[in-house]
Amino acid sequence: MPRYRLTIEYDGTGFYGWQFQADHTTVQGVLESAMERIHGQHILVQGAGRTDTGVHALEQVAHVDLPKSWDPFVLRNAINGNVRPHPVSVLEAQEVPEDFHARFSATKRSYLYRILNRRAAPALDRGRVWHVPVELDADAMHEAAQHLVGKHDFTTFRAADCQAQSPVKTLDRFEVARYGEEIEIRAEARSFLHHQVRSMVGSLKYVGEGKWPPLKMRKALEARNRAACGVVAPPQGLYLVSVGY
């Protein structure tokens, strides 16, 4: 059976995350329904990662094993025609070797978190940013973020129901920059713990507000205790930007 890699964009608003759920609308569920309409049988769509409820993706990656060969251009259009009206779009389809795996072959995952930092609430970006009306110090947030770069035990920034076997991860990049009224936070690692990015961003907000000095981020990390974490940032500001192989 030929294997195809799919590069997928979606607006996470209205979805209960990526992973299939029988009683809720999910990105994986919408894609698998589209594949079933095309092929007349269930086709498993395996993603590079499970984004949470409300989280968006600019370039999620998935793979599928199909009962027949397709021209990639035609396959992409067929899927897109069958996922409507859901806000999901296959940007590219390409045939790949049978040993390619969207999740296990990945070597890097990149995330972006957007904070709209102004008094007025968003109109056009509602549901796509975290609106924080209190002025944040992006430079202090960036300084604090550097304490988390490298290989660490991230228990403090791990969801209580995280199923990862180990809390130890290597954070390759964690940067904060202001662009006018928006603060962008970028994180890169081979893999992340459940809620890790949102937990780290929420703690950075405390730094930006002046509630925490930048050094407290290191102390929170070293505590290895979920109670030492700041607020967990809401999902709507988070984007899976790309998956590297």
Strand partners, 188: 110, 173
The token pair that represents 193 in the structure block: 């713990």
Domain assignment present for residue 161? The answer is yes
Contacts of 125-131 with C-beta under 8 Å, sequence gap 24+, read: 127/11, 127/13, 127/54, 127/236, 128/11, 128/13, 128/56, 128/236, 128/237, 129/182, 129/236, 129/237, 130/201, 130/233, 130/234, 130/236, 130/237
Task: Read off the pLDDT of residues 207-236 as tens digits, 9 standing for 90 and up.
Answer: 999 999 999 999 999 999 999 999 999 999
Do 112 and 161 lie in one domain? The reply is: yes
Do 18 and 92 lie in one domain? The reply is: yes
Do 38 and 65 lie in one domain? The reply is: yes
Q: Is the pLDDT of residue 163 over 90?
A: no
Three-state secondary-structure class, residue 185: strand
Rg (CA), the chain: 19
Task: Read off the pLDDT of residues 93-143 as tens digits, 9 standing for 90 and up.
Answer: 999 999 999 999 999 999 999 999 999 999 999 999 999 999 999 999 999
Do 70 and 29 lie in one domain? The reply is: yes
Task: Read off the pLDDT of residues 26-82 as tens digits, 9 standing for 90 and up.
Answer: 999 999 999 999 999 999 999 999 999 999 999 999 999 999 999 999 999 999 999
Query: How far apart are the C-alpha atoms of 202 and 219, rounded to whole Å?
Result: 15
Helices (H), the chain: 27-39, 72-83, 138-145, 196-209, 216-223
Q: What is the pLDDT of residue 134?
A: 97
Query: How far apart are the C-alpha atoms of 72 and 76, rounded to whole Å?
Result: 6
Domain assignment present for residue 133? The answer is yes
Domain assignment present for residue 193? The answer is yes
Q: Which domain holds residue 39?
A: 3-96
Do 61 and 161 lie in one domain? The reply is: no
Do 127 and 175 lie in one domain? The reply is: yes
Domain count, the chain: 2
Which amino acid would we find at residue 67?
A: P
Domain assignment present for residue 101? The answer is no
Cα torsion 42, 50, 237, 234 to 10°: value is: 110
Query: How far apart are the C-alpha atoms of 11 and 1, rounded to whole Å?
Result: 31
Query: How far apart are the C-alpha atoms of 10 and 30, rounded to whole Å?
Result: 11
Domain assignment present for residue 237? The answer is yes
Q: What is the pLDDT of residue 160?
A: 85
Q: In this structure, are residues 220 and 226 in contact, taking their beta carbons and an 8 Å threshold?
A: no
| Beta strand pairing call for 3-10 and 56-65 | antiparallel
Q: What is the pTM of this model?
A: 0.95
> Pick from 56, 76, 68, 111: which is nearest to 5 by CA?
76
Do 62 and 129 lie in one domain? The reply is: no
Do 185 and 238 lie in one domain? The reply is: yes
The token pair that represents 22 in the structure block: 């029988």
Indicate the residue among 64, 96, 128 that finishes a domain.
Answer: 96
- Kindly report the CATH number assigned to the domain that includes residue 123: 3.30.70.660
- Kindly report the CATH number assigned to the domain that includes residue 65: 3.30.70.580
Which positions are annotated as active-site residues? 52
Q: What is the pLDDT of residue 162?
A: 87
Three-state secondary-structure class, residue 111: strand
Do 141 and 232 lie in one domain? The reply is: yes
Domain assignment present for residue 75? The answer is yes
Three-state secondary-structure class, residue 143: helix
Domain assignment present for residue 158? The answer is yes
Do 119 and 43 lie in one domain? The reply is: no
Do 38 and 113 lie in one domain? The reply is: no
Domain assignment present for residue 103? The answer is no
Do 112 and 74 lie in one domain? The reply is: no
